[in-house]
Amino acid sequence: MRRFVVIISILLLSACQAVKVYYDYDKETDFSNYTTYNYYPDIQTGLSQLDERRLFDAIDSELQLKGIRFSEDPDFLIDVKTRFFRPQQTSNVGVGVGGNGRNMGGGVSIGIPVGQPNEKREIRFDFVYSKKDLLFWDAVSESNFKENTGPEKREEIIRKVVAKVLSKYPPKAK
């Protein structure tokens, strides 16, 4: 029984740390045409300068592994936007009344949130065809965020997010 509780606890904790990623892309795009990239010159990521540098380093590393190179005359531009938010906590109050013959009963149930709500970070990655300014691939990641995280952990988290996001780039042909 104790083993079961430990396994469930580990699964719940790991689920809380999971990075969710949502993808969208133009089905008509030939992704083999996009071999060079750069960032928008006026990019406003919404991150601190340190986290922005960590993010760009992680993107550069992942794209280089895929054979896509950084260029001053790129095939596509990358735009990144970040949003921080706190998900709404779900607290419920339920009231019930019931009867059976002479017996009557009732009850009240109240859901009380435990602990502080976690802050979430959403990072949107847009890949835009540079010649026509057309979006051809988009990914949105959502993960937990703690402001007081140290630099090593921040870099590790950003690398994990970018690795997961770019794991589906380019999309596999169906």
| Secondary structure of 16-75 in HEC code, one letter for each residue | HCCCEEEEEECCCCCHHHCCEEEECCCCCCCCCHHHHHHHHHHHHHHHHHCCCEECCCCC
CATH number of 19-85+118-168: 3.30.160.670
- Residue 14 has a pLDDT of 45
Going by the DSSP 8-state scheme, the letter that residue 111 receives in this structure is -
Q: Which two tokens stand for residue 143?
A: 């993960």
Domain boundaries, given as residue ranges, for the chain: 19-85+118-168
- Rounded CA Rg of the chain: 23
Give the per-residue pLDDT at 168.
Answer: 94
pTM for this one?
Answer: 0.74
| Cβ atoms of residues 114 and 90 within 8 Å | no
The DSSP code for 102 is T
From first to last of its 174 residues, the chain has per-residue pLDDT tens of 666 544 554 444 444 458 899 999 999 999 999 999 999 999 999 999 999 999 999 999 999 999 999 999 999 999 999 998 777 665 555 656 666 666 666 665 655 555 555 789 999 999 999 999 999 999 999 998 888 889 999 999 999 999 999 999 999 876
